[in-house]
Structure 1
Amino acid sequence: MTKDSQASAAKPRSMRNTQRMIERADPIFALAFDAGVMGLSARSVERRLVHVKDRQSGTREVVDFVRCSYLGLDNHPAIIAGAIEAIADYSSLHWSCARPRLNFGLLSDLEENLSDLFQAHVITFSTVLAANLSAMPILASGYLTGG
């Protein structure tokens, strides 16, 4: 093997084909949407109960197994009260700006406290989507593990 072929062999191969994924997934998403199990709006009631706005029958109460709040903290009264207090203390809900330029103080405080608690460098994200869009490509690239 030449030096060039060894270098190219070490690079991870890209398996991305966005156009094909969209073409294959679109009919399935359309079926789910038409069946009323996707694209729904809901309001938390208590614990895992939510009121879902149904396109056909109005509103119905269901047990939610979709959210990632496995401990039910999304609508826990103490968490809601703490969030209201934090919004009042920081005079803002969220800042729409790039974190390297200006970070929301509440997130910095949270990162410091969690870093102390876990004795590690903790990075927080405002949503799971933001975490996935930020961290997952770096993790999947192999950069942190040498391929």
Structure 2
Amino acid sequence: MLITTYAFWLLLGIALLLSELFIPGLIAAFFGIGALLVGVLTLLGIIDTLAAQLAVFAVFSLVALFALRKHFHRWLRGTEADPSAKDMDDAGVIGSRVKVLTDFTDGTGTVQLNGAKWDAESPDSLKMGDSAWVSEHKGIILVVSATKP
């Protein structure tokens, strides 16, 4: 045999762990850990048949994936105690005065805020040159109104 069984599992585990660096999603890491576990158990002689190796790999990888992914994801990405208490105006734009650059048609147009051009939505009929105020933002879209909030 060109490569021993335990070496195959160890190399597969390392490859899966390394793939997580290039395609992050925190999924391949659990399969990599499962492959490493099977490689070590095979090296120690605890499991020897292919069926047992595949079963241990599948069970351990899937249990770890579903049981631990949420915890690892929170640990790697961070979390907040109460997301609803987060200041939704993290950009500091709500209440800012903007200049209307184009007439609003069908509730959409463009405005200028701090020298930058923004796509905007408004329930009000706004014309080019009018002033408006930011009432909220939806990502890169500002919601503006003719009256100050």
TM-score normalized by structure 1?
0.23
> Quick check: which has more Rg, 1 or 2?
2
* Structure that is richer in strand per residue: 2
TM value normalised by structure 2: 0.22
